[in-house]
Amino acid sequence: MTPTRTHLTHIVSRMTLIGPAAVALLLAMPAPAAEQPAQIQLTGVIRDFAAYGDPGGHPSMERANIPAGLKPRWVIANLVHPRLGPDGKPRFTNNGLVMESPWTDAAGNNIAMQMPAAPGDVPGVLTNKLWNDYLDPASFRELFNDVPGVNLSAPLTLTFDLQADGTYVFDARTAPNMGGPPKGFFPIDDLLYGNYAGNGGIHNFHFSFELHGDFIYDDAAGQIFEFNGDDDVWVFVNGRIVVDLGGRHSPKSMFVDMNRLGLTHGKPYRLSFFLLERRTSGSNCIITTNLPLVSGDQVSVSSAFD
């Protein structure tokens, strides 16, 4: 059994022959480091929508292809404000910018263009083209709030598995209860509004997902967060955007080095994650992080799985 500080103090009080230096050494011994748990579980809320053109369909779901004149594009940036709103939700800018190539850091990781500058960063390319990709001011709020008659919602728990390098990974391709075949991020197949037959198979494609996790910032731990997937994904830390992968797109990745954010060592912060799955044919979600995340305040859910 590893002695605790209380045990050590008791031992020292009984060892009258030990010298002062040895006593000081024993009392200064650090407590054993806690082992990392094998898994982290975070619970958020998923909201399901009907496809545009179906009865009650949402105008942002299952729309036409992006016009050819907007290509080449990487993602649509700046669809949401760089700060969360007072309600903790993204705010629509009505000013999406076509990004042809991403910003990268000194290691070649894709980063948000809103990240504080650091040595070695390479700017991406924003075109002069504007495109909101069928998001609009009238209906954007419905995407991340319960609205009777517009969406159905339910809790969804993601399990992150500890890796050999100390990171935790959620990978929808290998996680249970994610639908398939083919495997992907299809957690509500056959549920809520039900499935949609598209060129990616028969799945429930049209949904949003909102997740919050709290963590203690450690400036010596090399804390990171990385997402790879589709469609629109926005991530905020301390209310400020750190991942901006807007629009419908094939799987794209973006990396966050927490040491770039001006956080204070030892203080708690919130990570807020928002995802839209808006169109066939695929749905992908891989999250990698070494943040010691715990579930944030539970998001209110108005209706459970039927």
pLDDT in tens, 262-279: 999 999 999 999 999 999
Residues 167 and 107 both lie in one domain: yes
The Cβ of residue 245 has, within 10 Å, a number of other Cβ atoms equal to 28
The kind and range of the H/E element at 23 are helix 20-28
Do residues 7 and 143 both lie within one domain? no
191 and 277 share one domain: yes
Amino acid at 61: M
**Is residue 17 located within the same domain as residue 80?**
no
Report the distance separating Cα 306 and Cα 295, nearest Å: 24
Query: How many helices (H) does the chain have, and how many strands (E)?
Result: 2, 18
**Domain that residue 23 falls in:** 1-33
pLDDT for the residue 205: 95
Structural domain includes residue 256: yes
How many beta carbons lie within 10 A of that of residue 171, not counting itself?
Answer: 18
Question: Is 301 inside a domain boundary?
Answer: no
Q: Say yes or no: 134 and 1 in one domain.
A: no
Residues 108 and 3 in one domain: no
Residues 109-143 have pLDDT tens digits of: 999 999 999 999 999 999 999 999 999 999 999 99
Do 73 and 126 belong together in one domain? yes
* Angle at CA of residue 231, ends 226 and 235, nearest 5°: 40
Q: How many domains does the chain have?
A: 2
Shared domain for 210 and 146, answered yes or no, is: yes
80 and 28 housed in the same domain: no
Q: 9 and 112 share a domain?
A: no
* Structure confidence at residue 33 (pLDDT): 52
The reply to whether 305 falls in a domain is no
Q: Give the burial class of 7: count Cβ atoms within 10 A of its Cβ; 0-12 exposed, 13-18 middle, 19 or more buried.
A: exposed
How far is residue 105 CA from its own chain's centroid? 20
